[in-house]
């Protein structure tokens, strides 16, 4: 499968972090998402119901970052992908979460990947 849907430049605010005080105030998180999905039906029909709605993806990600709280970005990424992968049309996903300018201007990030088992 070679089709993909990407949502880049998502800025969401949440309370995530292992260091003291990081959960006290919402901080920005920059998120990139790429999905592996068969878009043949969407191309043929020109029907939004035949594809993965990237506006809904965006809303789900922003909601989860805002409403949940984890010490590690790895766990946050895992929770986001678990929610997104409920859509059976998604064969795989790559999600990167960054904490902008956290380390004296440097931006650490974590990337998590999921591939749906065909069994």
Residues noted as catalytic: 99
The answer to whether 47 and 105 are in contact (CB under 8 A) is no
Q: Helices 73-84 and 54-67 sit at what angle, rounded to 10 degrees?
A: 140
Helix (H) or strand (E) holding 62: helix 54-67
The C-alpha atoms of residue 37 and residue 16 are separated, in whole angstroms, by: 30
Of 113, 117, 108, 9, give the one whose Cα is nearest residue 61.
9
């Amino acid at each position: 499968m070679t089709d993909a849907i990407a949502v880049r430049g998502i800025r969401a605010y949440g309370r995530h972090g292992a260091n003291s005080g990081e959960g006290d105030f919402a901080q920005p998180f920059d998120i990139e998402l790429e999905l592996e999905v068969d878009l043949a039906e969407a191309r043929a029909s020109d029907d939004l119901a035949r594809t993965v709605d990237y506006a809904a993806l965006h809303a789900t990600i922003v909601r989860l970052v805002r409403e949940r709280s984890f010490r590690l970005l790895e766990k946050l990424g895992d929770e986001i992908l678990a929610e997104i992968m409920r859509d059976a049309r998604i064969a795989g996903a790559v999600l990167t979460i960054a904490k902008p300018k956290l380390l004296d201007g440097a931006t650490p990030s974590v990337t998590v990947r999921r591939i749906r088992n065909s069994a």
